[in-house]
Amino acid sequence: MFAKPSQPAAPIEGPRHVALIMDGNGRWAEARGLPRAVGHREGVQALKRTVQAAPDLGIGCLTVFGFSTENWRRPAEEVSDLMGLVRSYVASDLKRLEREGVKVRVLGRRTGLPADIEAIIERAEKSTAHNDKFILQVAFNYGGRADIVDAAQRHVDLVLAGKATGPLDEETLGLGLSTAGAPPVDVIVRTSGEQRLSNFLLWEAAYAELVYQNVLWPDYGPEALADVVLQYRNRDRRFGGRATPYAAPALAVG
Ligand code: IPE
Ligand code: IPE
Ligand code: MG
């Protein structure tokens, strides 16, 4: 038998930072007899709806998984469709993001990306760098393991150059990750019913809440995000400590 908590936890505030594994574009398209590319295109519309809804829900930072270091294993045509969406998303939305105070950051390795995509990413980051109303982090050619390796390598390089000393600690390693500077990740959401991280934010996931939603990403929007906020507020984050207030279960005196 599973014991019930003796007392419901007091509702918590937030989340400030929500990370989304936007999954299910292919299944959404296949269920309609459409090419997967259409699912990815609809996924961009869902992303726009979701980003627009986030500030009103009290969220200050969204991190979305757009392309993993493992997604290169997909057929070349699909990879090229996904690259094309970066071009169209930035072309159709960058002006609005700039105007609405959104700071865009792109997480992940730049090497291996088509040159024009690299340039588009740099332009998006540069033209929104001064914004501070909302942070949108797009993980693209991103892998959690690669990000940790890169952070460790950065530290090694600094030590070899005589600009840092060991031993390496969690805070220093964290400063080398691509998410450095963003608030801590409060909750990681995965859509489509799959329940795994697929190499997303491995370090940052340490004490993040996990929410799995059965909606396919192209159907995502404000209601689904509001449901994440609700689920999160009913969680009890203990970080290895103890729930507060702690009410000891009554002892049966016999
Ligand atoms: C998510 O949708 C988008 C990317 C991984 C880029 P998928 O393309 O993974 O969709 P499913 O999982 O095949 O349905
Ligand atoms: C993770 O989804 C990557 C993105 C959402 C961009 P995948 O669909 O690639 O993950 P797996 O292969 O099902 O684990
Ligand atoms: Mg998938």
Q: Which ligand is nearest to the CA of 25?
A: 1
Instruction: Give me the mean pLDDT over the 12-39 stretch.
Output: 97
Tell me if 198 CB under 6 Å of ligand 1: no
pLDDT of 250: 72
Q: Which atom of ligand 1 is nearest to the CA of 28?
A: 14
Q: 6 CA distance to ligand 3 centroid (A)? A: 39
Could you tell me the pLDDT band of residue 243, with boundaries at 50, 70 and 90? Answer: confident
Please determine, for residue 196, whether its predicted confidence score (pLDDT) is greater than 60.
Answer: yes
- Long-range contact pairs involving 191-196 (C-beta distance under 8 Å, separation at least 24): 191/20, 191/21, 191/22, 191/23, 191/24, 191/215, 191/216, 191/217, 191/220, 191/224, 192/23, 192/24, 192/27, 192/216, 192/217, 193/24, 194/23
pLDDT digits (tens, 9 = 90+) for 88-121: 898 889 999 999 999 999 999 999 999 999 999 9
Mean of per-residue pLDDT scores for the chain: 93
pLDDT of 43: 97
What predicted TM-score, i.e. pTM, was given to this entire model?
0.93
pLDDT of 11: 72
Please determine, for residue 2, whether its predicted confidence score (pLDDT) is greater than 70.
Answer: no
Please determine, for residue 14, whether its predicted confidence score (pLDDT) is greater than 90.
Answer: yes
Q: Which sequence spans correspond to the domains of the chain?
A: 17-233
Please tell me the class of the 17-233 domain: alpha beta
81 has catalytic annotation: no
Which residue has better confidence, 67 or 244?
67
Q: Which atom of ligand 2 is nearest to the CA of 198?
A: 14
Ligand 2, CB cutoff 6 Å, lining residues: 21-23, 65-68, 71, 194, 196, 198
For residue 148, give the 3-state DSSP assignment.
helix
157 has catalytic annotation: no
Which residue has better confidence, 6 or 63?
63
